[in-house]
Amino acid sequence: MKVTIYTDGAARGNPDGPGGYGTIISYVDSSGTEHIREYSKGYKKTTNNRMELMAAIAGLEALNRPCEVTLYSDSQYLVKAFNEHWLEGWIKKGWKRGKNEPVKNVDLWERILKAMEPHKVTFIWVKGHAGHPQNERCDILATSAADGNNLEEDVF
């Protein structure tokens, strides 16, 4: 099954303000009917990068069978980590990056890798705030979640 996932993350007062993510999953069933689901959640204190990763995780974890996934994100941090093989290097170095500094958000990188396991995932970068309809909708979901009242704790 082919699935398209659109994602965005937002943080107010990055790096220590409230934040949220927005995710849209779209697929067409065998009868040709498109199905769309939206996900969002807000956190009391987080970072933009964590919310970008959580948006992707939410989409991948929502899938209940192996899929061919095209994931669109305006986060170069997320997309380049896969497309430019940053993650492979970080893992080989024991979650260290250049100058032997620790990689941030290891908990979420490990979670996204686990969520990807049953799927074939292609990451595509889209320019944020450039009129891409699904990216704009994800931005609304993410910022609305960040501005909401029912914020959760982001433990990191």
Burial class of 109 by CB neighbour count within 10 A (0 to 12, 13 to 18, 19+): buried
Q: Which of 42, 59, 74, 119 is catalytic?
A: 74
22 is catalytic: no
The two three-digit tokens of residue 153, written as one number = 């704790």
Binding-site residue ranges:
8, 52, 74, 139
Q: Which of 20, 22, 42, 139 is catalytic?
A: 139
Q: Whole-angstrom Cα distance, residue 24 to residue 22?
A: 7
Binding-site residue ranges for Mg(2+):
8, 52, 74, 139
How do strand 96-97 and strand 34-46 relate by DSSP bridges? unpaired
Q: Which of 9, 19, 22, 59 is catalytic?
A: 9
Q: Which of 52, 59, 119, 154 is catalytic?
A: 52
52 is catalytic: yes
Q: Whole-angstrom Cα distance, residue 155 to residue 111?
A: 14
148 is catalytic: no
139 is catalytic: yes
Q: Which of 68, 129, 147, 152 is catalytic?
A: 129
Report the catalytic residues.
8-9, 52, 74, 129, 139
